[in-house]
Each structure stands twice: as C-alpha cells, then as structure tokens.
Chain A
Amino acid sequence: MSEAKSALPATETEVSRRAFFTKMGLGSLGIAAVGTLVFYYKFLSPNVLFEASPIVNAGRAENFPQDSVTLDVNSGIYLIHVAEGYFSLNAICTHLGCMTAWKQEEGIIACPCHGSRFSREGQKLAGPAPKPLPWLKTWLSDDGNLLVDRSTTIPPLQFLRV
C-alpha cells in the first residue's frame, strides 16, 4: 500500500515537505524583518519632545507701537503693528531654515544665509526662497496679551484689530 502511494506522481498543486518548510521559514524571516524595521522606526521617533510650546505669549499689544517690526529670536516670530492692525510672521526663512532679520533702513526682511529678501508683509522680493514668509495665527487673550500660534498659518493680510 505504501509503495503504491509513493509511486503516485506528485501533482502540480502538491507542495513537498521541503518546499513547504522553506516557504514557511522565509516567510517568517520576512515578517521578522518588517517587524524589525517598524521597531527601529518607532524607537527612533521620540514620543515626547522637550521643545518650546508652539503658542507664544508676546505680551501687551500696547508694547508694539504702530509701524514697528519686532523680532523675538527665542520663538522665531515677528510681531508687526501697521495701520490696518497687528499680525505675526514666521521669521524662519522658507529656503533652508535660517533666522531672518528686519532691516529698518531698507524696510525689508532679509536672510543672512543665502540672501533671500521679503517685504514687511512676508512677500518674497528676491533670493532663493521658494515661498513667502507664512502668516501665523494671532489673537488677543482675555487678559489683553497678544498670543501667536507658530504651528498654525493663516492666509496673508488678515490683520488683528485691537
């Protein structure tokens, strides 16, 4: 009986023991490899960051006289007061992340790294920067302080009237 069984030709759908275990082994190694990649990716991404809060308290609105441009180097934002109202710009250059500076005498914002230049409203005037400086969400708190959310951009020319 056993002889007759072994004499049967293996059909194409039949998998030999060796091929089955090879596939099982390679399959589990593949799953383990993907798991290892996920493990490393998760491990290398910090879950808690000791970075400053995106919301910045800029202080009393009266501290910013009209036609003034104030750079806060710690948070990397401009607080600007013009006739239409207050607004905030992200001071980080859209080219490669350098801190820009306000040039009072020329009335422009300039980046020291690669020479990008922006208008007071953030529009790009010259240089390699691909985008204008983004406007940041700015509002007045209940106790009369100007708050800026660095993580939320708004369309340009939305002035805050106080």
Chain B
Amino acid sequence: MASRIEGYFEKLEGTRVWRSIFRSGTGNSTLHRALAIQQNVFLHLFPTKVRRRMLGFSATWYLGTLTLCTFLILVVTGILLMLYYHPSVPQAYADVKDLKFVVSSGMFLRNLHRWSAHAMVFLAFAHMFRVFYRGAYRRPREFNWVVGVILLLVTLLLSYTGYLLPWDQLAFWAITVGSNISAAVPLVGDKFHFLMLGGHQVNANALLRFYVLHCVILPLTAVLFVMVHFWRIRKDGGLYVRESEPGKDEPEPIPGAAMEKL
C-alpha cells in the first residue's frame, strides 16, 4: 500500500506540470535537496544546510518559530474578525459585543486573537533573552539583532493599536494615557500627538487611524522585516553555535557550498 502511494507520488513528480512548478527535479542527492530549498521562493530565505542538532529543541527552544506561529494565528484570526468589525464610533463597541454573543465562534476567534497577541509579545521577549544570553547577537549577526529590535517595536505597536479597537473604557483611557506620553516629547510631541490621533482627543479619527495602522501598515511592516530577519540567518552563517559546543569544529556551512561542490 505504502509503496503504491509512493509510486503515485513519483509519477506525479515526473509530470510536466509538476516539473514546470518545481524545477529542482526528483532525487535524493545533496544537489537535489539543496536545489529544493534554493529554488523555492519561500524556502530560499532559509539556509540550504542546517546542522541536525540545531533543529533540536534545546538549541533554540523554538522561540523564534513560535513567535512566527503566533503572528500567523493573529493574521488569520484578524482577517476573520475584520469581516464583522466596523471601525466607527457608533458601531465598534457593538460589533465587539456581537462577536462575543451573536457571531458563531466569534468569541473563540476574538479570544484566540487576544491571547495570541499576549503570547507573541511574551515569545518575542523570550526569543530576545535567549539570543542575548547565548551571545548570538555578536558579529556577524549584529544587524539581525537590530532587525529583531525593530520587529519587537512593531509587535508592541501592533498590540498598542489593537488595544483601542474594542472601543470600551479600558481602550479609550489606555490610548488617552499612551498618546499623552508621546505628546511629552520635546518640540514635536504635540504635533505627533495630533497627527497620530487625527485630532486633539481620542475620537472617530483616532479609531480609524489606529484601525488602518493595526490592519494594514504595521502587519506589512512586520512581514517585510520578518523576511529580512530569516534571510539574514542564512547570510550570517546559519543558526548560532557556541565556541564550547560540540560541532564547532565542523566546517561552517557556507551558503551555496553544496552547489559548488557538484
């Protein structure tokens, strides 16, 4: 049975349609495996070669991957919530109530969105602590650390802008206090406060601006920097291995080395 299924797959992989999509071809050679990663638009962000040990839990605790997973959950649940939520003063709070009490699975999706947001902030911090205490931020990975700091800021801004959207008392006063903190910046603070809220107080303009930031501008920024973040792991020589750890004596996997050998 298993061999029959395998046979089907082999047949499928040999078809012209399959080969027109996946150009690397079939086969188990190092070249084919490297090509499968290198010629795929999504996978080519990652290194073609990874030490087996680095895929284990203890090497990274999977904190970066888990942060990405929470982000993907937030994108999916967020898009679904957008189908019922109107970012307007008379409707926003009522829509959130509807999501809780009227829409099928609405409460589940909203809670999943909220808890994933909390988890993403926690995991991003945990990931950064892990990288910091392992010393993985050092040369040649300094720039990727900087990209990570930008991603942390984007994550926090996503949390902050999302906080206003339920349009309840907590949201209103939290954004009032938070935006007044930004107004304390010398010279440009008041102007920035005005631009951010689209007025002098948290009102309809502020709700719409935060909605656009939360649903469009900040997620796109996050995706952009996540791509750079992954690509830099590959360009900076793969996941970090400490000097004292076994496996350090192995030759550094140079990107594309597998290709050159063949």
A126 close to chain B: CB less than 8 A: no
One of B173, B176, B195, B203 near A51 (C-beta < 8 A): B203
- A98 & B198 in contact (Cβ 8 Å cutoff): no
Complex CA gap A45/B192 in Å reads 10
Main DSSP-derived SS at the B contact region: helix
Taking CB atoms and an 8 Å cut-off, the chain A residues in 43-70 that contact chain B are 44-46, 49-51
- A96 & B205 in contact (Cβ 8 Å cutoff): no
Residues of A within 8 A of B199 (CB): 46, 49, 51
Q: Interface size (A, Cβ < 8 Å)?
A: 11
A33 close to chain B: CB less than 8 A: no
Residue-wise interface mask of B (17-37) relative to A, using a CB-CB cutoff of 8 A (1 in contact, 0 not): 000000000000000000000
Complex CA gap A44/B194 in Å reads 9
Count class of interface residues, chain B: 10 to 19
Residues of B within 8 A of A44 (CB): 195, 198
- B204 & A50 in contact (Cβ 8 Å cutoff): yes
Distance of A41 from chain B, by nearest CB (Å):
8
Complex CA gap A32/B201 in Å reads 33
Residues of A within 8 A of B195 (CB): 41, 44-45
Taking CB atoms and an 8 Å cut-off, the chain B residues in 222-260 that contact chain A are none
- B201 & A96 in contact (Cβ 8 Å cutoff): no
B41 close to chain A: CB less than 8 A: no
Distance of B218 from chain A, by nearest CB (Å):
16
Name B209's closest neighbour in chain A (CB-CB).
Answer: A44
Distance of A49 from chain B, by nearest CB (Å):
5
Residues of B within 8 A of A41 (CB): 195
Name B176's closest neighbour in chain A (CB-CB).
Answer: A97
Complex CA gap A94/B176 in Å reads 12
- A46 & B180 in contact (Cβ 8 Å cutoff): no
B181 close to chain A: CB less than 8 A: yes
B5 close to chain A: CB less than 8 A: no
Number of A-B residue pairs at CB separation under 8 A:
30
A34 close to chain B: CB less than 8 A: no
A37 close to chain B: CB less than 8 A: no
Complex CA gap A97/B179 in Å reads 9
Distance of A123 from chain B, by nearest CB (Å):
21
A113 close to chain B: CB less than 8 A: yes
- A97 & B205 in contact (Cβ 8 Å cutoff): no
Taking CB atoms and an 8 Å cut-off, the chain B residues in 17-67 that contact chain A are none
Residues of A within 8 A of B173 (CB): 98, 113
Distance of B166 from chain A, by nearest CB (Å):
18
Taking CB atoms and an 8 Å cut-off, the chain B residues in 97-127 that contact chain A are none
Distance of A127 from chain B, by nearest CB (Å):
14
Given A44-B195, A45-B194, A46-B205, A96 contacting B200 (CB threshold 8 A)? no
Residues of B within 8 A of A50 (CB): 203-204
Taking CB atoms and an 8 Å cut-off, the chain A residues in 92-117 that contact chain B are 96-98, 113
B177 close to chain A: CB less than 8 A: yes
Complex CA gap A113/B176 in Å reads 11
Complex CA gap A22/B164 in Å reads 48
12 more A-B contacts (CB under 8 A) besides A46-B198, A96-B181, A97-B176?
A: A41-B195, A44-B195, A46-B205, A49-B199, A51-B201, A51-B203, A96-B176, A96-B177, A97-B177, A97-B179, A98-B176, A113-B177
